[in-house]
Structures are given as C-alpha cells and as structure tokens.
Amino acid sequence: MSGVRKAGVIGWPVSHSLSPAMMTAWLSDVGIEGEYSPVAAAPEDFAGTIHRLRDAGYAGVNVTLPHKEAALALADTASDAARAAGAANVLVFQTAKIHADNTDITGIRAALDEGGWQAGTGPAVLIGAGGAARAALYVLKAANVPVRIVNRSPDRAAVLARSMGCAAEIHGLEAAPRALEGARLIINATSLGMKGQPALTLPLDILPADALVFDMVYVPLETAFLKQARALGLRTADGLSMLIGQARPAFEAFFGKPVPARTPVRAMLEAALEGRP
C-alpha cells in the first residue's frame, strides 16, 4: 500500500460529509491509486490529529466545521485567500510545512457562475457573519459590488466588514426587507434552513425579477428559502454547486491531477442526499 496516495476530510462531526464519495469517484475515473476517508477529530484533538495524519503519509485534508479557523492558525504558510478569509478548508502537507488554502472561495464563485450572476448588475445581500460569510464577502469585495450584510447581531457583522476592509451596509434581521430592496444577489451563509434548524424567512417577493438567490445549505438540497425563490421565478444556486466547486482544486492539490469533467458527481451526490433519512 506504500504507493497509495492518501487524503481525507476532517471535522466534528464528519460522518455526514459527501466529500469521500465525491473524491473516491474522481479517483476511480482518473485511475489514481488513492484513498480519501473521513477523519473525526474533536476540537481539542485537532492539532494532534493533523500531525498524526501528516506523519502517516497523508497528502493533505479538507477541513470542515468547526476547525477552519484552527486550520489556518496551525499552518506554516497560507494562500492570500485563506489569510483574507481568516479560515482554511484545505491543508496540504508539504515536505516540512503545512500549507493552508481556502477553496470555499472557489466554490462560491462556481455556484455564482452556475447561477448566472453578473457582478455589475447591482447590490448583494449577505446573510450571516460567520466563517462561510467571510469567504462570501471575500468574493463580493473582489467583484467590487455594493454589499449589505444582514445578521442577528449587527455588531458582529460590522466587525466582519471592518476586518476585511469592506465598506458594507449593516442591517439587523428586523431590517432585512430594507436591505433586500433592489438587490441582485442574496447569499445565505448561515445554517438557517439546514435540516434540524429553523427556516430562513425573508420577503423575497420584493426582489427584482433578475435577482439570484444562493443558499450555501445543501441538506436539504432544496431549502424552504430556495423553494420560495423558485416559486417566485427567481434564479437560484444551491450548496451542492459550492461543495463540488471547492473540492476540485483540493483534489488536484492532494492527488496531482485535475478533476475529470466527465464524472457525473452531482447526480451521484443528489442521489446520496435523497437516500438519507
């Protein structure tokens, strides 16, 4: 097994992750002798687990909640994207160093591209102020679009905007209708709408007809938020597009080859989601 290239996804919990099925399908299609497995690690065990994986010959890991900020802090070097976002979802184990990257940014761009978003069409509304929101704000700032951040805690949203040098408008949840006026892009970067969480409820009927509604949640794949948007005839993008988009550069970093375009991973992952209780 010495020739097998190994990587994985680390989180707490991690059993729900779709990444092993996706990466394994790509490995099979490319013809690489490799393994990609889930690794459960509690926050207090994160650093030790990372070092054990590197010592065991892993090429690197994807990092999911709640470890993304800890991953950046642990790394010896980091990409501009990871530093700007303040979090890393990819760690690549180099000869003597650990390198951090944030491909969530790539995934967000992929989802927006699939949704047909054009940066120059108007303001963007970002719901949330956590780690996922940081990656989204990085994309929006780079696109030079006016940003309005809506969050339960306006103070936290203001801290996020300042930390990333973004002159965003800040709104509490009660002011969300005002924030939505004239917006061409709405991004849900919270867990609202995720299975087991309350739904995200916003008056989407006040949006322009050409607005794009993007929900990072993918369990369920069609959240109530997206269902509402589609019923109104609005364009939508879902969290599965982001998941696949962020995984492509990670696969190449771990296994040295680009993802094969022919692999129908979206259909496979949709089927996997439908089969979950």
Catalytic residue IDs: 68
Query: What's the token pair of residue 201?
Result: 């409820």
Distances (CA, A) of 259 to 32, 92, 134, 212, 246: 11, 17, 26, 27, 12
Cβ neighbours of residue 28 under 8 Å, at least 6 residues apart? none
Contact, 20 vs 40, CB < 8 A? Answer: no
DSSP secondary structure letter of residue 43: G
Q: Measure the CA dihedral 108/267/65/109, to 10°.
A: -10
With helix as H, strand as E and coil as C, how does 143-196 read?
Answer: CCCCEEEECCCHHHHHHHHHHCCCCCEEECHHHHHHHHCCCCEEEECCCCCCCC
Cα–Cα–Cα angle for 171, 176, 181, nearest 5°?
Answer: 105
Element of type H or E holding 74: helix 68-74
As a whole number of Å, the end-to-end CA separation of the chain is 35
For 58, the 3-state DSSP assignment is strand
DSSP secondary structure letter of residue 56: T
Contact, 27 vs 255, CB < 8 A? Answer: yes
